[in-house]
A and B are shown apart, each in its own frame.
Chain A
């Protein structure tokens, strides 16, 4: 099946620092989604991207749909303790695939107090 490579797998950052993570695929994707999962909870949708080159912000979060349609990145500016959690990318590899999504392995974000 389709594979999404998400990196880094985990990261420690200092409060106030900016964070960047990305997802790459060997195949073209039509949709990129970014989710955040708190411990013991379900993932919450942060940002949805539908067009190549699209740059979308949600508060301190910014995500971009790569021009090649094979990658996406998520930036978090001025991190705070509540940013702790696991961030997942997800993509839909082709049109009308029954809304099936392929998920990355997640980036675990830990903030130093």
Chain B
């Protein structure tokens, strides 16, 4: 089945540790995105990539890093520099034919 997968669903980390969230898609989409969602809030863009080996900062990139070495994969690293990392993280992708973004199931990160 075509779709976007994120793993793990739940992630716990100690303060000060870096953590990497996985996002994989088999939709053959060129563009991929990472969003952060806080309780009761909308989606805020962290990073996006329109093509392999290229990515751009979104509205809240500080404390995060990404890579795009393969078309199918767009991992997000939450670094120790992110002051408030506990949140729900959503990955999305879109093709070149339209503006519709399709989302993965999300990863809930809790930093203890």
Of A12-20, A41-49, A73-81, the one contacting chain B is A41-49
Q: Does A110 have its Cβ within 8 Å of any Cβ on chain B?
A: no
Contact of A98 among B50, B106, B108 (CB under 8 A): B50
> Can you list, as one digit per residue, whether each of A22-44 has a CB less than 8 Å from chain B (1) or not (0)?
00000000110101000011111
Contact pick for A42, options B41, B59, B99, B103, CB 8 Å? B103
A99 located at the interface, meaning its Cβ lies under 8 Å from any Cβ of chain B in the complex: yes
Q: Does A104 have its Cβ within 8 Å of any Cβ on chain B?
A: yes
Chain B residues with CB under 8 Å of A64's CB are none
Contact for B103 among A43, A104, A106, CB less than 8 A: A43
CA separation between A112 and B4, bound complex, in Å?
A: 33
Quick check: A100 and B48 within 8 Å, CB to CB?
yes
Q: Does A72 belong to the interface (CB within 8 Å)?
A: no
- Residues of A close to B104: CB separation below 8 A: 42
Contact with B along A44-87 (1 / 0, CB 8 A): 11001000000000000000000000000000000000000000
Summarize A's interface: helix, strand, loop or mixed: loop
Main secondary structure of the interface of B (DSSP, over half): strand
Within 8 A of B (CB), among A78-113: 88, 90, 92, 98-101, 103-106, 108
Is B106 in contact with A45, judged by CB distance below 8 angstroms? no
Given known A-B contacts A42-B90, A99-B99, A105 and B42 have beta carbons under 8 A apart: yes
The answer, yes or no, to whether B2 is at the interface (CB within 8 Å) is: no
Does B94 have its Cβ within 8 Å of any Cβ on chain A? yes
Residue of chain B at shortest CB distance from A33? B100
Give the distance in Å from the alpha carbon of A1 to the alpha carbon of B58 in the complex. Answer: 11
| Contact of B105 (CB < 8 Å), options: A41, A48, A92, A103 | A41
Q: Are B98 and A103 in contact, with the CB atoms below 8 A? A: no
Interface residues of A (CB under 8 A from B): 1, 30-31, 33, 35, 40-45, 48, 88, 90, 92, 98-101, 103-106, 108
Interface on B for A, CB 8 Å cutoff?
A: 4, 6, 31, 40-43, 45, 48, 50, 56, 59, 88, 90, 92, 94, 98-106, 108
Q: List 23 A-B contacts (CB under 8 A).
A: A1-B59, A31-B99, A33-B101, A40-B108, A42-B6, A42-B90, A42-B92, A42-B104, A42-B105, A43-B43, A43-B103, A44-B103, A45-B102, A48-B100, A90-B101, A98-B31, A98-B48, A99-B94, A100-B45, A101-B99, A101-B101, A104-B42, A106-B41
